[in-house]
Structure 1
Amino acid sequence: MEAIPLGSNSEVGRLRTVILHRPGAELQRLTPRNNDTLLFDGLPWVAKAQEEHDAFAGLLASRGVEVLLLGDLLAQALASGAARMHGISAAVDPRRLGIPLAQELSAYLRTLEPDALAHVLMAGMTFDELPFASTEFSLVRRMHHDGDFVIDPLPNLLFTRDSSFWIGPRVAITSLALPARVRETSLTDLIYAHHPRFLGVRRAYESRSAPVEGGDVLLLAPGVVAVGVGERTTPAGAEALARSLFDDDLAHTVLAVPIAQERAQMHLDTVCTMVDADAVVMYPNIVDSLSAFTIHKVDGGGVKIDRAAPFVEAAADAMGIGKLRVIDTGLDPVTAEREQWDDGNNTLAVAPGVVVAYERNTETNTRLADSGIEVLPIAASELGTGRGGPRCMSCPAARDPL
């Protein structure tokens, strides 16, 4: 079958190809001592999380979506020698391990087959899993406990939205803000650079400094992008992204949207996602307060930044529509807060007016259905422990254009 052309210019065009990550051994590394550092609110039952994720992937496939699994893509890309060097150098930190141990570990990793190397790069490695005796030459090894990580695991790989996003025919590699997630982009970068499926794909934006995370980026309409600015994406990151998209003619307007710098609202898509070409579902507690600074591309390569205005009005104006339809979940404050925490506003559109949502958010889903949106519910008793919904867990690589 001929490969589906890659690219996207909206949040809601019919979904054709998506990148997911099936939960794996990296989640089994979580303990009560490290789950906070690794950004999980609990210890997921991994087998159940896998079952729920398989159902999610199966639902998308039943709707005609090509599902690519990140772990498979990584293992396939690691058939390249250059990809192996890329992955190993990102995972082995001589500043933390010391040069002797780092050299020994790198040499060992170079002997692994692609599947085994992919497993280590995702699931990490503890000192007691080192296959060689290093105590004689490494003070670092002597002074660490056996269960400490020599390579940290990446449990947040589950949320493939954050480390890259597609805009037009290009892919943007982001810069993740928190230490537990920084190395994720090295794997994403490796896949796009070396996997045959992405041969010839050009980059839209690559940041090595100011953080930008994909969960903060909404493609409101062709040429119009909203970027949340809060806990994970900085003002400098939003500005750098806007200027890069303008330079590459991938957007003409970017809305910088301040959001609360807190865990419950870590990304813009935790409080607002698009469910149709002219409609969003939004956390009711912020509908009236959410604002946006509109950044315009101007002739000569410069930018113009408008004063802050209500987000709903600024978005409609930038999109060229009379009014942005807001599906305010209209719930009592307690239920609204509970369902927002459980990712009720984090939906994945598979077509205009058709979204995947967590089944547990019954009130929000009812409001969506009452507004004419078809809701495809999925279970999430374990998938939600990392605070991310269907949109967070998916990187759309191909949508039909609007």
Structure 2
Amino acid sequence: MTHYVDSEVGRLGTVLLHRPGPELARLTPRNNDSLLFDAIPWVGRAQEEHDAFAAALRDRGVEVLYLATLLAETLAVPEARAELTEQVLRSPRLGDTLRRRVADHLTYLDPAALADVLIAGLAHEEMRISPERPGGLVWTLMDRHDFVIDPLPNLLFTRDSSLWIGDRVGVTSLAMLARRRESTLTDAVYRYHPRFVGTEFVYHPELEHLEGGDVLLLAPGVLAVGVGERTTPAGAERLARQVFAAGLAHTILVVPIAQKRATMHLDTVCTMVDVDTVLMYPNIASTLSAYTVVAGPGGEPQVDGPAPFLRAAADAMDIDQLRVIDTGLDPVTAEREQWDDGNNTLALAPRLCVGYERNVETNAQLERAGIEVIPIAGSELGSGRGGPRCMSCPLVREPLPPT
């Protein structure tokens, strides 16, 4: 199977999603902040919204793969099962006695049930503890609602833990502690699942912090990498080195963004909807800057700038200028719709994208500019601060002509 992505807008062929499940039901007012959700989602409605999202993609001819299914199939490979089980058991907070009980618990699970635990977590009260099989001091001192294995509610946002550049996958290094095990699961799928046999990697989770929501494939050979709350300058530099060494790009634009939750990733303020068109939050469109990075002698990254982002991007893409469509229409609407992921569209082809229906003015702006919008509901899906692009990792897009 050939997987290949060289742009944001080439016709989408295959995408990786994660249908939200029991891990969302683990969220409570006590833990939603630490698990990075702004609200407690209605799980059933979130699943309905996600199913409608997946159906909209299939209706346009997109093959939809589910991460949980791939993970269960991966866990049928003994080496993958041993590796992922050992990773969970390595946690120093378990202690020796509880670690043995957890190992016993996981041993008897079939691959699908084990995948469920690795995603949804394992609570204190779900352990089979008895005088004959004690949990030890750690288990005794835990609250009955504490997690022995933490859930991964943010796995919904498959864009962040992996990305494809050309025919290579990058499994990223997630910045927030609550999300780091996501990359472990994704990494195992790409290394052990039969569908991905022979896949070459361009990034690994043990490297500097880099998240997929910060990486835009502006054109074949041209990447933009946001540096802010989640991706560090060191992560952007490391990606540049890896990409240049693999011959996957000739230019990297490093784009500083505000280190705050509303702009956690570059794709919260800018996404592409055509080969020469971006949807962009107007409050920063004129102030966003970029440093242009190219490969110097010996592959050493050479840095130039800063320059206005829109100018630097057009130059790197070898076009006269990027057309900009504003989020919202007035400053208040723009701010509201940016917060509700109005910028976070998923392009299915040039001039065709998926967006949350609640961002009425942004969608109208797109339609007026000749961009067809497939609106989807997102009242519950958006509670983790992510839109259609965040929820999707493209595996196959039709190639665009190189710049």
TM-score (norm 1): 0.97
Amino acid at match of 1:8: V
Unaligned runs of 5+ in 2: none
Matched, 1:15 2:12: yes
Q: In 2, distance between residues paired with 1:340 and 1:232?
A: 18
Of 85-94 and 304-313, deviating more is 85-94
Q: Matched residues, percent identical? A: 63
**Aligned residue identity for 2:312:** A
2:354 is paired with a residue whose SS is strand
Please say if 1:68 is aligned against 2:65.
Answer: yes
Distance 1:273 1:58 in 2: 22
Would the aligned equivalents of 1:10 and 1:401 in 2 still touch at CA under 8 Å?
yes
C-alpha contact 2:97 2:134 (8 A) present in aligned 1: no
Query: How do 1:165-244 and structure 2 match up within 5 A?
Result: 165-244=163-242
Cα distance change on mapping 1:352 and 1:115 into 2, 3 Å: same
| Shift in Å, 1:103 | 2.8
Residues matched between the structures, number: 399
User: Cα RMSD (Å) of the superposition?
Assistant: 1.2
Q: Measure the CA separation in 2 of the matches of 1:206 and 1:32.
A: 33
Structure 1 residue 107: Cα displacement = 3.1
Q: What does 1:32-71 align with in structure 2 at a 5 Å threshold? A: 32-71=29-68
The answer to whether the 8 Å contact 1:294/1:307 transfers is: yes
Q: Which residue of 2 aligns with 1:312?
A: 310
Query: What secondary structure is seen at the aligned counterpart in 2 of 1:296?
Result: strand
After the TM superposition, which residues 290-301 of structure 1 pair with which residues of structure 2 at under 5 Å, given as runs?
A: 290-301=288-299
Q: How far off its partner does 1:137 sit?
A: 5.8
The answer for the alignment partner of 2:276 in structure 1 is 278
Provide the C-alpha distance between the structure 1 equivalents of 2:321 and 2:399, rounded to a whole number of angstroms. 21
Confirm or deny: 8 A CA contact 1:92 1:151 kept in the other structure: no
Asked if 1 retains the 8 angstrom alpha-carbon contact of 2:328 and 2:361, the reply is no
Task: Say whether the 8 Å CA contact 2:129–2:135 is kept in structure 1.
Answer: no
CA distance in 2 between partners of 1:351 and 1:198 (Å): 24
Q: Distance in 1 between matches of 2:328 and 2:126?
A: 52
Q: Distance in 1 between matches of 2:396 and 2:124?
A: 41
Contact 2:184 2:205 in 1 (8 A): no
CA contact under 8 A between 1:84 and 1:110: conserved in structure 2? no
Matches of 2:107 and 2:290 in 1, distance apart?
48
- Could you tell me how far apart the structure 1 residues matched to 2:128 and 2:374 are? 46
Query: Of 360, 363, 366, which aligns to 2:361?
Result: 363
Shift of 1:91: 2.2
Match of 2:117 in 1: 120
1:25 maps to 2:27? no
Question: Of residues 95, 100, 115 in structure 1, which corresponds to 2:97?
Answer: 100
The answer to whether the 8 Å contact 2:254/2:291 transfers is yes
Superimposed CA distance per residue, residues 140-174 of structure 1 (whole angstroms, 9 cap, x where no aligned partner): 11111111000000000000000000000010010
CA contact (8 A) 1:176 1:213 kept: yes
CA–CA separation in structure 1 for the residues paired with 2:48 and 2:129: 36
> Larger deviation: 14-23 or 300-309?
300-309
Counterpart of 1:81 in structure 2 is 78
- In the TM superposition, residue 136 of structure 1 has moved relative to its aligned partner by 4.2
Q: CA deviation at 1:381?
A: 1.1
Given residue 236 of structure 2, which amino acid in structure 1 is its aligned partner? A
Q: What does 1:120-159 correspond to in 2, within 5 Å?
A: 120-133=117-130, 136=134, 138-159=136-157
Residues 1:288 and 1:104: Cα distance change in structure 2 (over 3 Å): same
Corresponding residue of 2:374:
376
Amino acid at match of 1:95: P
Q: Where does 1:242-253 land on structure 2 (aligned, <5 Å)?
A: 242-253=240-251
The answer to whether the aligner puts 1:399 opposite 2:397 as a matched pair is: yes
Q: Deviations over 1:253-279 (max 9, x none)?
A: 111100000000000000000000111
Secondary structure of the residue aligned to 2:240 is helix
| Distance in structure 2 (CA, Å) of the matches to 1:91 and 1:237 | 25
Q: Give 1:99's aligned amino acid.
A: D
Aligned amino acid, residue 328 of structure 1: D
Cα distance, 1:137–1:327 mapped onto 2, change above 3 Å = closer
